[in-house]
Structure 1
Amino acid sequence: MKLSTRTRYGMRAVLDIALHSGGAPVRLRDIADRQGVSLSYLEHIIGPLIAGRILRSARGAGGGVSLLRKPDSILLSEIVSLLEGPLAAVDCVLHPDVCPRSGSCATRGLWTEMAEAMDSVLGSRTLVDLMTRDGEDKVGSCAPTALRPQRSPVIGAASARWNGGMERR
Structure 2
Amino acid sequence: MYLANLPADQLSSIKEVSAFYNISQNHMSKVIAQLAKCGYIHTIKGKGGGISLAISPDKIRIGRVIQQLENKLDGVDCLSSNCPLRPGCKLKIALIKAVESYITTLNEYTLADFTENNEDISYLLQLDPT
- TM-score where L is the length of structure 2: 0.78
CA shift for structure 1 position 108: 2.4
In the alignment, structure 2 segments of 5+ residues that lack a partner are none
**Deviations 1:80-131, CA, capped at 9 Å, x for gaps:** 2232124121124xx69x8786664232232122111111112221111221
Number of aligned residue pairs? 126
Look up the SS of the partner of 1:65 in the other structure.
strand
Q: Distance in 2 between matches of 1:20 and 1:30?
A: 12
Q: Does 1:137 align with 2:120?
A: yes
Look up the SS of the partner of 2:43 in the other structure.
strand
Alignment of 1:33-44 (within 5 A): 33-44=19-30
Alignment of 1:18-167 (within 5 A): 18-92=4-78, 104-132=88-116, 135-141=118-124
> Between the two proteins, what is the percent identity of the paired residues?
23
Write out the 4+ residue segments of structure 1 that deviate beyond 4 Å after TM superposition: 98-103
Higher share in helix: 1
- TM-score where L is the length of structure 1: 0.62
**Deviations 1:52-92, CA, capped at 9 Å, x for gaps:** 10111012343211111110111112322232124121124
